[in-house]
Structure 1
Amino acid sequence: MRLDKYLKITRLIKRRTVANEACDAGKISVNGKIARASYDVKVGDVIEINMGVKPLKAEVLSISEYATKENAADNYRIIP
C-alpha cells in the first residue's frame, strides 16, 4: 500500500493530500530515510512524521485496505 494512503487510513494524518504534501516536503521518513508518497509500506517499517512541534514515530503492525475509527490504531504501534 502507498505511504500516503496508509497514513490516511490509519488516521495518522487526516487527509491523503496532506500526507502527499508532507512526503513531498521531506517531513515523512521510513526506516530513517526520507520517503516519497509512492513508497510501498511493509509490516515492520518505522514511520517518522516530523510535522508540528513533536515528531511522531510509529511501527507498522498490519496493513488493511479499510479501517474504521475504532480499529485504525490497531494497524500501528507508537514508539516513544
Structure 2
Amino acid sequence: MRLDKFLKISRIIKRRSVAKEVADKGRIQVNGKLAKSSTDVKVGDDVKIRFGNKVLEVKVAELHESTKKDDAAQMYEIIREERVENNL
C-alpha cells in the first residue's frame, strides 16, 4: 500500500494530499530511510513522521483498503511520540 494512502486510511493524517505533501518534503522515514508518498508500506514497517515540533513513530500492524473510524487505530501501534525543539 502506498505510504500516503496508509496515512490517510489509518487517520494518522486526515487528508491524502496533506500526507503526500509531508512525505515529499522529507519529513517521513520508513525503516530509517527517507520516504516519498509513493513508497510501498508493509506490515511490520516502522514509520517515523515529523510534524512541526512533534515526532511520531509507529509500527504498521495491519493494512486495509478502507476502515471505519473505530478500526483505524488498529492499523498501527505507537512506538514513540515526543516533542522536539525547533532550533532554527
TM over 0.5: yes
Moved over 2 A (4+): none
Q: What is the aligned-residue identity percentage?
A: 54
The C-alpha deviation readout for 1:3-40, integer Å capped at 9, x for no partner, is: 00000000000100000001110001101111011111
Paired amino acid for 2:12: L
Residues 31-46 of structure 1: matches in 2 within 5 Å? 31-46=31-46
How many residues were matched structurally?
80
| Aligned residue in 1 for 2:10 | 10
Q: List runs of 5+ in structure 1 lacking aligned partners.
A: none
Q: CA deviation at 1:55?
A: 0.1
Higher strand share: 2
- State how 1:62-73 maps to structure 2 within 5 Å: 62-73=62-73
TM-score (normalised: structure 1): 0.97
Structure 2: state its 5+ residue gaps. Answer: 81-88
- 1:42-71 Cα offsets, whole Å, 9 max, x none, are 010000011121100000001000111101
